[in-house]
């Protein structure tokens, strides 16, 4: 029997004082190691522990980063945190003046009331020597159900999909992976050697280790990582779901491997990634740049990395980023905050960050990948948080313009990470979309149960209500029809504003 850390694979040469303190929100258990298909598995049982981002309850907003003596559970503030407008307007009118229908949807499993979410297993898959990929899985017993693979955004990992694993794992087989260079898929050994006795920061050595030759944490590496993971671990075509960076990787992978993809869901997917030219796509231009994310880091890049890393890895900076990307500041994000903070303390984190930032672009642009998916008939579903300050809905509408038949759901209020902010809504929409595809259209798309989808030419809005920790919550979800355009949206907006002025 051996204890397997849930925060990192077993380290061989990690200095004791660099070990990150274990989080109390995830239990560690002694388990037997199994080497089936080079996979190390451990059973994990989660309990909810979270930090709110409200101005009055969240200590991070007041210049403190210590854990409160009594963790705040659930939502702080009143039970109507998602109320839009006045009480008379709720459930009857959206911000564009359209009629809104109230729809009651299931909440997440409430373990405090005896409801059981799907158990989650934490595993390591040895893709190549020294390349240990961390992933989490739930719903393994659902052998006849469709497989789902979740891909994380930049700076996070599989932990960001805990609410999907617990909920959707009751019906499907669900995986979530950490990209190499992120989360718990950071290296277990220093990719560089040094004349110094010990390196407190990995990747800053004098010479590259043989296993890390040509290693760059790039889009192409992550695409290959997903390819071999689907082939060797899952073993069949999957539904891909990606948030932010993970959305781009999902689309890129699907464009190159359509035979392995049943469908792609983009959650506020970033429409671009990388600044340097791709050496295969633009070899002459790529030769101009002397360094493009390989190890070891050049001396000038080390100094820049140390300067930038000191600031972005600061707990206050992490908290500020979370304030930006989550629209509801009363939401508890303690689990996300601590997972990100622990990752920054890994000795390979700083150099891995530099490699990602200076990695070349993908061989296909986002638009090229989208066109290939459309050409190959890969189903695409779009779900975008309306209040995202980074990937604004206009980017989602741009995708919609190129694939007009793709269902588009705009969720409000929700920011850059709708799967974590309003998981009840995202899970409900995912279930409905997959059911529609699996039934070959016999089941209507989500929100269209009362009418045929081909009759929706512009858009409809519905108020999705659910129960979270004993309180009623609701969000407005707008479905964009096949002929919906940005002009339709502007016209609807101004029409509603003029109508309100006339009634005054």
pLDDT given at position 115? 86
In a domain, 321, yes or no: yes
For residues 394-428, b (16+ Cβ closer than 10 Å) or e, as one string? ebbbebbeebeebbbbbbbbbbbbbbbbbbbbbbb
Q: Which run of H or E residues covers position 122?
A: strand 120-128
Looking at the DSSP bridge assignments, the partners of residue 389 are none
What's the rounded Cα separation, in Å, for the pair 310 and 307? 6
What tokens were used for 455?
A: 């009759």
Q: What angle do CA 325, 331, 332 make, to 5 degrees?
A: 105
In a domain, 439, yes or no: yes
CB under 8 Å to 135, separation ≥6 — which residues? 122, 123, 124, 125, 158, 175, 176, 177, 178, 229, 233
Are residues 157 and 343 in contact, defined by beta-carbon separation less than 8 angstroms? yes
Are residues 323 and 329 in contact, defined by beta-carbon separation less than 8 angstroms? yes
pLDDT given at position 18? 31
What tokens were used for 53?
A: 């981002």
In 178-296, the DSSP E strands lie at 192-193, 207-208, 238-243, 261-267
Find where tokens 């309850």 sit.
Answer: 57
Q: What is the DSSP string of 467-501?
A: EETTEEEEEEEEEE-TT--HHHHHHHHHHHHHHHH
CB under 8 Å to 74, separation ≥6 — which residues? 332, 468, 469, 470, 471
What's the rounded Cα separation, in Å, for the pair 155 and 109? 27
In a domain, 425, yes or no: yes
pLDDT given at position 101? 85
In a domain, 155, yes or no: yes
pLDDT given at position 481? 77
Low-confidence residues in the chain, pLDDT < 50 = 1-37, 42-51, 54-93, 452-454
In a domain, 152, yes or no: yes
pLDDT given at position 328? 94
pLDDT given at position 338? 97
In a domain, 31, yes or no: no
Find where tokens 């009143």 sit.
Answer: 78
* SS3 category, 304: helix
The domain tally of the chain equals: 1
Q: What is the CATH number of the domain that holds 254?
A: 3.40.50.1820
pLDDT given at position 110? 87
Instruction: State the helix-helix crossing angle for 366-375 and 393-402, rounded to 10 degrees.
Output: 40
Around Cβ 283, how many Cβ atoms within 10 Å? 10
Domain that holds residue 274: 115-448
Q: Which run of H or E residues covers position 39?
A: strand 39-44
* SS3 category, 137: strand
Comparing C-alpha atoms, which of 201, 178, 200, 172 is closest to residue 437? 172
In a domain, 43, yes or no: no
Side-chain half-sphere exposure of 201, counting CA atoms within 13 A: 18
What's the rounded Cα separation, in Å, for the pair 71 and 73? 6
In a domain, 456, yes or no: no
State the DSSP code for 446.
T
What's the rounded Cα separation, in Å, for the pair 257 and 264? 12
């Amino acid at each position: 029997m051996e204890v397997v850390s849930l925060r990192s694979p077993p380290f061989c040469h990690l200095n004791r004082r660099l070990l990150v303190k274990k989080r109390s929100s995830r239990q560690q258990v002694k388990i037997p190691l199994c080497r089936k298909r080079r996979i190390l598995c451990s059973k994990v049982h989660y309990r909810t522990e979270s930090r709110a981002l409200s101005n009055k309850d969240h200590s991070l907003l007041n210049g403190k980063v210590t854990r409160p003596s009594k963790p705040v559970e659930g939502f702080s503030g009143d039970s109507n945190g998602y109320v839009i407008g006045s009480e008379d307007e709720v459930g009857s009118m959206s911000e564009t003046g359209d009629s809104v229908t109230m729809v009651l949807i299931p909440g997440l499993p409430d373990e405090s009331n005896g409801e059981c979410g799907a158990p989650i297993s934490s595993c390591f898959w040895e893709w190549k020597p020294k390349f240990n990929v961390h992933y989490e899985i739930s719903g393994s017993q659902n052998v006849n159900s469709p497989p789902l693979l979740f891909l994380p955004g930049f700076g996070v990992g599989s932990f960001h999909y805990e609410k999907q694993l617990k909920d959707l794992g009751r019906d499907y087989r669900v995986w979530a992976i950490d990209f190499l260079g992120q989360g718990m898929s950071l290296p277990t050994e220093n990719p560089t050697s040094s004349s110094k006795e010990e390196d407190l920061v990995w990747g800053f050595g004098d010479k590259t280790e043989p296993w890390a030759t040509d290693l760059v944490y790039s889009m192409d590496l992550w695409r290959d990582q997903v390819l071999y993971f689907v082939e060797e671990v899952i073993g069949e075509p999957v539904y891909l779901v990606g948030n932010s960076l993970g959305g781009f990787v999902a689309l890129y992978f699907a464009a190159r491997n359509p035979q392995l993809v049943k469908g792609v869901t983009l959650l506020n997917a970033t429409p671009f990634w990388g600044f340097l030219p791709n050496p295969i796509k633009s070899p002459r231009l790529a030769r101009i740049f002397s360094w493009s994310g390989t190890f070891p880091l050049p001396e000038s890049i080390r100094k820049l990395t140390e300067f930038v890393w000191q600031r972005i890895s600061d707990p206050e900076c992490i908290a500020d980023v979370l304030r930006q990307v989550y629209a509801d500041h009363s939401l508890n994000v303690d689990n996300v905050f601590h997972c990100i903070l622990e990752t920054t303390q890994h000795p390979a984190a700083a150099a891995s960050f530099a490699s990602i930032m200076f990695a070349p672009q993908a061989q296909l642009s986002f638009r090229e990948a989208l066109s290939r998916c459309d050409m190959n008939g890969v189903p695409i579903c779009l779900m975008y948080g309306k209040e995202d300050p980074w990937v604004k809905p206009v980017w989602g509408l741009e995708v919609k313009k190129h694939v007009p038949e793709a269902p588009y759901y705009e969720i409000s209020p929700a920011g850059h990470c709708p799967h974590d902010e309003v998981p009840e809504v995202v899970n409900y929409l995912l279930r409905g979309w997959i059911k529609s595809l699996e039934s070959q259209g016999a089941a209507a798309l989500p929100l269209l149960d009362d009418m045929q989808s081909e009759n929706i030419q512009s858009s409809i809005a519905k108020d999705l209500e659910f129960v979270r920790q004993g309180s009623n919550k609701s969000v407005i979800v707008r479905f964009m029809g096949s002929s919906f355009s940005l002009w339709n949206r502007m016209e609807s907006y101004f029409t509603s504003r003029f109508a309100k002025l006339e009634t005054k």
